[in-house]
A and B are shown apart, each in its own frame.
Chain A
Amino acid sequence: MTTLSSHVSSRPIPNPKNSLITKLNAGTGLIVGVVFAVATYNLLKGENEDPGIAYNIHNRALLAAMFMWSIGFLVGIGAFIGPWRWLIGKDLTAEEQLYLAGDGQGIKRYFKYCTDHKVVGIQYLWGVITLLGVGGAMAMMIRTNLAAPGGHFITASVYNSLVGLHGITMIIAMIIVATGPFGNYIMPIMIGAADMAFPRLNALSWWVLFTAIPVLCSAWFLGGIPTGWTAYAPLSIQAGPGMNAFIATIIIFAVSTAVAGSNITATVIAMRAKGMTWNRVPIFVIGATISVALAVPAFPTFMVSMIMTALDRTYMTGFFDANIGGSGWLYAHLFWIMGHPEVYVILIPGVAVLMEIVPVFVRMPLFSYIGAVVGFAGIAGLSILVWAHHMYMSGWMPMLNGPFMVTTEMISIPTGLIFLVMLGTLWHGKPWLKLPMLGVYAFLWNMLVGGITGIYLSDVPADNYLHGSMYVTAHFHYTLMGAALTGAVAGLAYWFPKMTGRMLNERAGYVSFWLIQIGFQVLYLGMFTAGAEGQPRRVVNYASQFATANRISTVGAYLVGTGFVVLLWAVVHSWRHGKIAPMNPWGAKSLEWTVPYPVPLVNFDTPPVVTSDPYGYGKAVK
């Protein structure tokens, strides 16, 4: 392990006074975005006698306004200045480039088009926290309504919107929950890079994502969505104006994911420190890269399915409308070809964070590094061959149910490897039971439950009963929330000192951990029971036989909710008042712990040279 002497920046603060880039920020972005959106809507709106055409025109105007908001915002924040200057042959000066990196601009740089990967990481972190907060509040509403049968708390249309928007908000949040904050802030330092491969694209990926958030929220004011996050056609073609917000959100988000995914992949391939051969790359970096590399081919099909839905809604193209020659199965295929890899895009980085944590807190090398890599790669590879297990009951090619069942159940083998790596590292060790390490234990239990119930669901005869029931909902919350989100929260506790310079408040951390994990078990064991009893998913009202299971679930949900509020308090409080963190509080051996806080602009004064993997723990062999 190398140590660096305390770093003092003597670089002059860049200030290219006459350049336009100094005048632009999120505020100007907001103004230009709103102007673009309002102008577009007014230009395109129109009346028509035929209600079908009127419906098409309204959808066109709304969709175009949403896209123009996004483009307008990016214009207003100066995202296109760099490419434009390059195009007219007056590339940005070195001083302007440095200005864009935000050095010495304090808190203002978080509201600017800032190319520093550490700023982008923090922006992502708060983006994730916001999305999780919104999605979590919606979950509380859903559970409150289901606390007793009757559906008295909220009406069916509001409930359906809650279910769909909770779903998509959480899916977006979970896709970026680890690769966003840690993939941007920590990962480049972990591999010894000065920044991401394409810093401007990095800023672009965040701000494009940012523009999707108001679009998503606008769904509420346009009448909500009736379709759930799966947005199955033809229901989505029947849906009201709120559906446009969903479509626009996905398309904008897909652009962001493509940009971020290629950037992260390129960075890991091209920017690793000298000596960091592939077998010396920290496992989090491997996991994050496999995850984004999986997202890059998977997401375009979702984008395409949404473009086709949009065309059906705006020009009656009939891709998914059987009355004019389309097919709902086509949508289901496009959606799930993205949808199933996507759950692993969420899961893998969360697990990889925990794998990064285990060796540090057990003080032993990561057991079977190769096994971990093969496990991740195996999951990613198989995940693109399993999508039709969501369609066993659809009537599409029942004779292919067998093969899809086989590929799906084969995923148990690489998943088993993941468990093996964790357990192998734990065995013989005396784990240091700090907050990040508790996440590992929560993961082992939650992923076990989530994984095993997944085997039932992948089995065609059992799925005949379980498909579309609350059992499915409980299953995927165990994997996505119980495993992936637990991993991300553990990662936050682990890297908090590097990202904020302070330690996360431990006592509040423990309180929130136990509230969340205990509440989580209560919540979803209740839901498993309701599902086994035969309660369908996504219902505003249910038969009284499910009342007890649902009431138990709601109590669990409130515990989880309280736990997350405590965690949020801990984050905010510790960020401002927390104990100052030493450079390497956990005694870890990866590169990010060799740089001080605040991390210098280019991370390392001298580019580091790597001579071993970061898991060289262990007593000297006698």
Chain B
Amino acid sequence: MSDSTMTGTKRTASAIIAVALGIAVVGSLGLTLHKISADPHGKLYATKESGTINVAGKDYPKATIKLGVYADNAQPKDVGVIEAKVNKQDWVHFGPSTHLVLPANTYITMTIRAYDGGERLNTAYFAKVVGTVGGTMNVDGKDVTSIPDDKVEHTFTLHGIPSQGQDSLFVNIPLMKVEEGDNGFLPTQDPGTGMKGHTVTFSFLTKGKGEYVFNCEYPCGDGTYAKFGAAMSTYGYMSGKVTVA
């Protein structure tokens, strides 16, 4: 008994083609989503330094990495930083990239230049320096362990999924806000606002390989609920990822 008006071979062939077509459609959808998931600014690698440093009786190789926080898309240029790709939205953002690649088991020294104003944090806890070597950070030449929670412009909060597979890593750095007419220590000045930024330097130790994320805990997604939408909730602005490789 024939199931259809088509011959057997033709029928089987058309079924196989249909399955292949299905795989192709779903596959190309996957590739598209994978592509739009790519890092908008490429990866930012830490620079390895020569020599080692001894922390708590163990020698670590050294590496440095520099980031900035900019209030909008014009600011990087104003302060003399060239970004590879201009963001789609004119929002506050970390730059030059939000995908940082750090070497494993290394003493990382990170410098963040911050040029934004600010107010009070949603959660006071994030005004505290957490997870750095010595529990401090250096703001414009001064070592501090925390800053007042109403003087914060942004935070760099690095965290991940602690599990058997990767070491846990937690770093929280509150970035001091720039006051109007503030005499910062930076040689560069934002001609738009007349503000000088702050330079924050801190060091932390990476452990084994792993995937982490960072985001800002200062509510800077203006106009949205709890100010945590927009730049805060969109990958590539105030949030990013950190690969320890």
Contacts and interface: CB of A to CB of B under 8 A. Distances in A.
Chains A and B touch each other in the complex, with CB atoms below 8 Å apart: yes
Interface of A: 50-55, 137, 140-141, 144, 149-151, 153-158, 162, 223, 226, 234-235, 237-240, 321, 323, 503, 505-508, 541-545, 547, 561-562, 565-566, 568-569, 572-574, 577-579
Contact of A238 (B5, B21, B224): B224
Contacts of A506: 3
Contacts of A237: 224-225
Nearest to B18: A569
A565 B3 contact: no
A565 B14 CA distance: 12
Contacts of A235: 225
Given A573-B15, A579-B3, 5 more contacts: A137-B29, A157-B233, A237-B224, A505-B11, A579-B2
8 contacts: A150-B211, A240-B229, A240-B234, A544-B164, A544-B166, A561-B26, A562-B23, A565-B18
A565 B19 contact: yes
Interface string B200-234: 00000000000101000000011111101110011
Q: Which 8 A-B pairs have the closest CB atoms?
A: A544-B165, A543-B163, A51-B223, A565-B22, A569-B18, A238-B225, A51-B222, A155-B37
Contacts of B11: 505, 573, 577
A250 B158 CA distance: 37
B25 interface: yes
A561 B22 contact: yes
A234 B165 contact: no
Contact of B4 (A137, A541, A544, A577): A577
A55 B233 CA distance: 15
B22 A578 contact: no
B85 to A, nearest CB: 16
A234 B226 contact: yes
B164 to A, nearest CB: 6
A50 B223 contact: yes
Interface string B1-40: 1111110000100110011011101100110011011000
B161 interface: yes
A561 B229 CA distance: 35
B165 A543 contact: yes
Interface residues of B, number: 42
Given A137-B29, A141-B29, A154-B34, A573 B228 contact: no
Contacts of A503: 3
Contacts of A544: 163-166
A158 B34 CA distance: 9
B60 interface: no
Nearest to B6: A577
B167 to A, nearest CB: 12
B235 interface: yes
A52 B15 contact: no
B3 A505 contact: yes
Contacts of B162: 543
Contacts of B4: 505, 573-574, 577-579
Contacts of A54: 223
B225 A234 contact: yes
A156 B223 contact: no
A506 B2 CA distance: 10
Contact of B14 (A52, A156, A240, A569): A569
B26 A542 contact: no
A573 B21 CA distance: 14
A569 B18 CA distance: 6
Nearest to A226: B233
B18 A55 contact: no
A140 B30 contact: yes
Given A149-B165, A544-B166, A52 B222 contact: yes
A157 B234 contact: yes
A562 B23 CA distance: 8
Residue from A52, A235, A577 with most neighbouring chain B CB atoms (10 Å): A577
Contacts of B23: 562, 565
Contacts of B221: 238
B19 A566 contact: yes
Contact of B223 (A55, A566, A568): A55
Nearest to B7: A577
Interface string B150-170: 000000000001111110000
Contacts of A578: 3-5
Contacts of A154: 33-34, 37
Contacts of A141: 26, 29-30, 33
Contacts of A545: 163-165
A413 to B, nearest CB: 42
Nearest to A223: B234
B225 A573 contact: no
A54 B2 CA distance: 65
A607 to B, nearest CB: 36
B163 to A, nearest CB: 3
A153 B34 contact: yes
A597 to B, nearest CB: 16
B34 A573 contact: no
B88 to A, nearest CB: 10
Given A508-B15, A577-B6, A156 B34 contact: no
Nearest to A236: B225
A500 to B, nearest CB: 12
Contacts of A561: 22, 26
Contacts of A573: 4, 6, 11, 14-15, 18
Nearest to B213: A156
A260 B193 CA distance: 59
Contacts of B163: 543-545
A503 B4 CA distance: 8
A235 B21 CA distance: 38
B33 A562 contact: no
A568 B18 contact: yes
A406 B163 CA distance: 37
Nearest to B228: A238
A141 B65 CA distance: 34
Contacts of B25: 137
B153 to A, nearest CB: 17
Interface in B118-136: none
A566 B15 contact: yes
A55 B224 contact: yes
A147 to B, nearest CB: 11
A541 B211 contact: yes
A561 B25 CA distance: 12
A593 B223 CA distance: 61
Contacts of B34: 153-154
Contacts of B2: 579
B198 to A, nearest CB: 24
Contact of A543 (B14, B164, B222, B224): B164
Contacts of B229: 238-240
Looking at B6, B19, B221, B225, which has the most chain A CB atoms within 10 Å of its CB? B225
A572 to B, nearest CB: 8
A155 B5 contact: no
Contacts of A508: 15
A569 B30 CA distance: 22
A87 to B, nearest CB: 43
